[in-house]
Amino acid sequence: MDAEFFRTWITCAAEVIQANRDHLTQLDAAIGDADHGINLDRGFTAVLRTLDAQNPGVAAAATPGRILAVTGATIISEVGGAAGPLYGTAFRRAGKALGKAADVDLPALSAALEAALTGVQELGAAREGDKTMVDALAAATKVFRHALAAGASQDDALSMLAAAASAAAVATIPMQALKGRASYLGPRSVGHEDPGAASAALILGALRDAARTAPMTVPGRTIR
């Protein structure tokens, strides 16, 4: 997977966040500040603008890690509330994990997603079951890691990752929020899907979709 693959992922993520902006905002209206979708849409729009503004020389020298680092830095600067620092940290940690490699394989992607999860947990002090984006991220990274260990194909592993994130987001509905603004509602947070888990599922679903759109390269061959 080269820089173009990761750029495709971010583009797909921006598109799906924009398409679900009102839905995410409605979820947030029930247990938060009613701005999650609006904020993320603004952030990803700014990310695409930043990536498009890179001069040809810089763009040609881009790496997967650089794409994710730019994404994270831009989200931090553009998105308010908790989502900006959390998603910004997730993408920056993932980019750092990928380093300067021009091409990365699926195990490297798995390690990058694990690094993103760790960053979010360290910053937000949340764990699985707290009704946050961690629920979707943790479920997805665990399933992805196990799928790769079992020898799953690229398409199957990424499909399983996306499905796990989506299922985990839905599973937050009966939970009581223990972290974030939603936790102030106590039992009243039960019965609502967590907007952060929902957006994380959308972004990981975009990763699966990017793999189906952009070819993945490994030394000596291209996988479509």
CB 176 within 8 A of CB 26: no
Tell me the CB-side half-sphere exposure of residue 51, using CA atoms within 13 A: 26
Q: Could you tell me the pTM of the whole model?
A: 0.91
Mean pLDDT, the chain, rounded, equals 91
CA distance 148 to 126: 26
Report pLDDT digits (tens) over 125-135: 999 999 999 99
Report pLDDT digits (tens) over 159-178: 999 999 999 999 999 999 99
The DSSP bridge partners found for residue 218 are 221
Q: Which domains does the chain have, with CATH numbers?
A: 3-219 (1.25.40.340)
**141 token code pair:** 């990274």
